[in-house]
Chain A
Amino acid sequence: DVKVTQSSRYLVKRTGEKVFLECVQDMDHENMFWYRQDPGLGLRLIYFSYDVKMKEKGDIPEGYSVSREKKERFSLILESASTNQTSMYLCASSLGIREIVIMTEAFFGQGTRLTVV
């Protein structure tokens, strides 16, 4: 079974803190994604990566950065956490080179519920 593991289920951080959310997948997938999920808004793409050291902005990258130093690990960084970044964060991965990614399935981690106070 594909396993996408996020380092924390629940996090509480203070405003202004630097926050790291870690995601690891064990199926040698090329593509990895970070989404946030808010009530009534569905999943929104923050950043994605289709290769090591490659990253591209999604729909809502402001206030976030990412790092992909190894194929299996994709980190989301909140440089200075703010209360409007309180949300459920979901990591996903999928197989395939960029040109065929549309035919493959995305596997999700269990989510990290981040609260910024």
Chain B
Amino acid sequence: KNQVEQSPQSLIILEGKNCTLQCNYTVSPFSNLRWYKQDTGRGPVSLTIMTFSENTKSNGRYTATLDADTKQSSLHITASQLSDSASYICVVTPDQTGANNLFFGTGTRLTVIP
């Protein structure tokens, strides 16, 4: 079972609307959680990174929240733009050393339509 689950798998919204993407994880103990944006045919680009002690982190119109007790994170996109169309990937790092310990969700594919 994947230790990082994202929902929904895909989402279509109208330009200008807000949306929220979900990430649930079972990785424990937990060090940090990152949200990446991946445009089609491109590599992922970091949006936010939060440690276990942080509840929220913003990057422009993107706001990530974290509830370490329930092991849930959300990415809220405000006033969506056509350029927000991409896959959004949640990545969790466990609280242990080792460069290979990154757990990836399978992503949410967001499409913003005019």
> Are B99 and A33 in contact, CB atoms less than 8 angstroms apart?
yes
A108 to B38, CA, bound (A): 10
Q: Which residue of B lies closest to A59 (CB)?
A: B100
In the complex, how many residues of chain A place their beta carbon closer than 8 angstroms to a beta carbon of chain B? 33
> Are A108 and B45 in contact, CB atoms less than 8 angstroms apart?
yes
> Are A102 and B42 in contact, CB atoms less than 8 angstroms apart?
no
The contact size tier of chain B is 20 to 34
Contacts of A6 in B (CB 8 A): 43
**Interface segment, one of B11-19, B53-61, B69-77, B104-112:** B104-112
Closest 6 A-B residue pairs measured CB to CB?
A108-B43, A42-B106, A43-B104, A42-B104, A101-B99, A108-B44
Would you call A75 an interface residue if the criterion is a C-beta within 8 Å of the partner chain's C-beta atoms? no
Contact of A45 among B2, B43, B51, B102 (CB under 8 A): B102
Since A42-B107, A102-B31, A105-B34 are in contact, a sample of 17 more A-B pairs with Cβ atoms closer than 8 Å, ordered by chain A residue number, is A31-B99, A33-B100, A41-B106, A42-B2, A42-B89, A42-B104, A43-B89, A44-B104, A59-B100, A90-B44, A91-B43, A92-B43, A101-B97, A102-B95, A105-B46, A106-B46, A110-B42
